[in-house]
Structure 1
Amino acid sequence: MGKSKTRELAVLAVLTALSVVLAFIHLPTPTGYLTLLDAGIYFTAFYLGAKPGAIVGGLSAFLIDLLLGYPHYMFYSLIAHGLQGFFAGWAGRKRLPGLLLAVLAMVGSYFLSALLLGYGWGAALAGIWGNILQNIFGLSVGGFLFLAYIRLEK
């Protein structure tokens, strides 16, 4: 393994760990709570691109479900947040469609997972609003962190 690959792997590991730690910050809402997990995913996707965004998104969501006691959601979260990070990492003219697909992929994946896990249509529909808020919150915080980092880097 070359020096470049080792550095890339280390950066992805640190960003995954930071995203997991951010997920422990909870903000209560009427429908549950919001976490900063998505902020770490969006920051990574904006800074490093689609593939690293998918890796950090999927792995951090997988690990946080394991740590918080939701093992039945681990693989669904891996897919949902992996797709979210991948689409959010699109750049240039594809940025806006990528962000829309990121939201749709995450919300849609959790909608389907609620149905597949047997929670029913009511629970699946009820989760949509919270997942949309989670995306808006994560996109806002992650976007501002990215812009601040770019300014500091100059």
Structure 2
Amino acid sequence: MGVLLSTKLREFIEKFFLCLVIGELLLTLSLISYVDATVGGLSPEIHIGSWEKISIALYLTFALTSLILPLLGLKSPNPAYLPTSTLIASILAAYSAVIIPLMLKLASFIGFLLAIVSSLLYLMSFWCSKEELRRFKFIITTTDIGAISIFSAITAILTAGVGAIFPSPTGGYTHIGDVGIFLAALLYGSKVGGLVGVIGPFIADILLGYPRWYVSLLAHGVEGVIAGLGKGRNAIIRAVYLAIAGLLMALTYFFVNVFIKGYAPALISFMRDLFGQAGISLVLAMIVYEPVSKALQKS
């Protein structure tokens, strides 16, 4: 009996990971195909209209989210998040296949086909792990709701307030809103950190009229999730997780900017996001974390 269960488990793992790995690979190839069809690949500077920037950035955000979600599902301690993440990735991958043809009237049969096949493979991964959904629990306590509300507001204020004063010469704006995300994540964990990373920057982008707000949802959402892994750790580990979170945020914007602005301005923006935004926010968050944590424990 034990051998039979072991064999079934091995078969499940092999099928699941095979579908997932091939799906990730095909979606990456689809992304390359669509990028080639739209901007022709990498270039020092890319000059396209605002609608093209919005469309390409939207496509890249959906495709990148599809690639990242299953990886976050694998990392999650809750096994039910794995089928959930692959199902969402399947939907987003399928949608990414039609963004460029619909919004820019540009066709890439190979890109479309690869994205659809990738979506089906994600769906197969979901099907292989769907039994784990029985253990799905996403509990938000009243404390979580209060923390999300407060830190989302703090993040929005620090983002929009500072960002309005320091616009970036390459587009976007420089701010210290990541302080709110980092604090929420360190104090309450990845769930709260991720939601604050989505809500706070979204509000700020709407207030400032940033047209590619959907990129912020991914960049800062992932940032909050990763930063939350530092909850309850010592100062060095906390700083490491915040640094990784900030790096991933900056890389997300860099990835999108490379294909809508060119790699020269994208590199400038990357340095600004990494050092001028995430770096300063990391230092400030580490400074205020201890007093805020102690104050919360006393309350």
> What range is the shorter-chain TM-score in?
0.7 to 0.9
After TM superposition, the runs of 4+ consecutive aligned structure 1 residues lying more than 4 A away are 27-33
Q: Greater strand percent: which structure?
A: 1
Equivalent residue number for residue 248 of structure 2: 105
Query: Cα offset for 1:100?
Result: 3.3
Taking structure 1 as the reference length, the TM-score comes to 0.83
Q: Where do 1:3-152 residues align within 5 Å?
A: 5-26=141-162, 28=166, 34-72=174-212, 74-91=213-230, 92=233, 95=238, 97-116=240-259, 118-132=260-274, 133-152=276-295
Higher RCO (C-alpha under 8 Å, 6+ residues apart): 1
Does 18-27 or 122-131 show the bigger shift? 18-27
In structure 2, how many angstroms separate the alpha carbons of the residues matched to 1:65 and 1:119?
Answer: 19
Given the superposition, is the C-alpha separation of residues 85 and 30 from structure 1 closer, same or farther in structure 2, using an over 3 Å criterion? closer
The CA RMSD over aligned residues, in Å, is 2.4
Structure 2 unpaired stretches of 5+: 1-139
In structure 2, how many angstroms separate the alpha carbons of the residues matched to 1:99 and 1:54?
Answer: 13
- Asked which structure has the greater CA Rg, the reply is 2
Query: Cα offset for 1:128?
Result: 1.4
Cα shift readout 1:112-140 (whole Å, capped 9, x = no counterpart): 12134x11111111111111121111111
**Paired-residue identity, %:** 28
Kept after mapping to 1: 8 A contact 2:160/2:208: no
Structure 1 unpaired stretches of 5+: none
Given the superposition, is the C-alpha separation of residues 13 and 29 from structure 1 closer, same or farther in structure 2, using an over 3 Å criterion? closer
Cα shift readout 1:61-112 (whole Å, capped 9, x = no counterpart): 122111101122x111111111111111113386455233202211100101
- Count of equivalent residues: 149
Query: Cα offset for 1:7?
Result: 3.9
Question: Which secondary structure state, in structure 2, belongs to the residue aligned with residue 102 of structure 1?
Answer: helix
